[in-house]
Amino acid sequence: MIPQYKSALLISDLHLTPSMPLTAQRFFDFCEKEGPKVEAVFVLGDLFEYWVGDDAASTSPFQQEVRRALANLSTKVKTYYIHGNRDFLVGTSYLKKTGMTLLADPTCIEIAGKKYVLSHGDVLCTADEGYQIFRRWTRKAWVQRLFLSLPLLWRKSIAKLLRSNSHTQYQNGARISVRENNIRNDVTLEACAAMLRAQDGIHLIHGHTHLPAHHREQLGEQSWQRWVLSDWDLDHPESIMPKANALLINGHGALFIDLIKPNQVSLISVLN
């Protein structure tokens, strides 16, 4: 039986790291203020900038602070977690300490009488064939065991190198063709349609692309609605506008809540 709730908040792509203290503080405030007002909170991946093993978290004061905030939230509302592309190594040890329940990607839930399919979203970006190959390999259990067996310093160095390469590839791609780069890094209609057919759903919620919006889409005779969560960044106003939102679902429908101005509903909110 799929989880059923009358109300929920969904967030994604916070990329929490000690170098982004304003973003982290907004998350701590969310756990204290907004989170407890609903029946369930769903974190759809990339809660952390990177994750190289639960053992690393045990030695990090910052990760311990995040753990305490999540554990406190989990005592008030049911809290769920889906792995992202940056933190898919978050393991059972850390999850147990936070009180969060791990969900498969994709997974189905029911909120206010409607069924929603949840995903982090990276598996839907099928135009980026190179990334999909990388994703399939890094999700193999034996590859993960091998990586986690390496010394912690090596794992951190590898994670830093992968993040640097990813940023460089994105910049190079953007210079070559902004349009093609955007297509490669966004979800495809074909992948969304296939996921929804497999889950027998017509409402899809995901993060990953950092392109918050509500879409009404169609492929052939199949139609659906798709909500994309924003990433969070309150620490780099010199390069981007501060951003952080959550999707609130209750008896009134699905509404994007602006967490920069938490009492305001975003212009891209929609009743469904």
* pLDDT, tens digit (0-9, with 9 covering 90-100), for 64-91: 999 999 999 999 999 999 999 999 999 9
Strands of 114-119's sheet in order across: 4-5, 107-111, 114-119, 203-206, 222-228, 213-219
Alpha helices by DSSP H, 33-110 = 54-57, 61-74, 92-98
* Stated pTM of the model: 0.90
What pLDDT, in 10s, does the model give residues 110-120? Answer: 999 999 999 99
**Whole-number pLDDT of residue 266:** 46
Q: Which residue has the higher pLDDT, 244 or 272?
A: 244
**pLDDT for residue 271 is more than 50:** no
Cα separation, 46 vs 4, whole angstroms:
24
Confidence band for 175, pLDDT divided at 50, 70 and 90 = low
| Count of helix runs (H) and strand runs (E) in the chain | 9, 13
By the 8 A CB rule, do 125 and 184 touch? yes
- Architecture per CATH, domain 4-265, reads as 4-Layer Sandwich (3.60)
Task: Name the residue ranges covered by the structural domains of the chain.
Answer: 4-265
**pLDDT for residue 8 is more than 80:** yes
What pLDDT, in 10s, does the model give residues 192-234? Answer: 999 999 999 999 999 999 999 999 999 999 999 999 999 999 9
